[in-house]
Amino acid sequence: MLSLLGNILILLFFVPILFIILAFLGINSFKSKFKVCTNCGTTLISESERCLYCGSNFNKIENNKSYSENASNETIEIDAEEIQ
């Protein structure tokens, strides 16, 4: 009888942990399907290669990204003004 009670308590402890792990894996799988169009900024949940709203190709946009080696040339200086 004591062994059965111990097994039930172990199951009550490990089943919620198993559900938490499965939920974590499911959420990560769902998040990997999100794409953000860099042309129009729309968030899409699809595996298509084109944006549904603006029609731009995701593969061409990602390949055309160019990064500057000198970030100080790309920095924009902004002067703050007090609005009255």
Q: One digit per residue, pLDDT tens: the chain, 84 residues?
A: 668 888 888 888 899 999 999 999 988 888 877 888 877 888 888 777 888 888 888 766 554 456 666 767 777 778 888 887
pLDDT (0 to 100) of residue 20:
94
Residues 6+ apart with CB under 8 A from 50: 56, 57, 58
Write out the two tokens for 41.
């900024």
Q: Does the global pTM surpass 0.75? A: no
**Rounded CA separation 13/7 (Å):** 10
Burial of 41 (0-12, 13-18, 19+ CB in 10 A): exposed
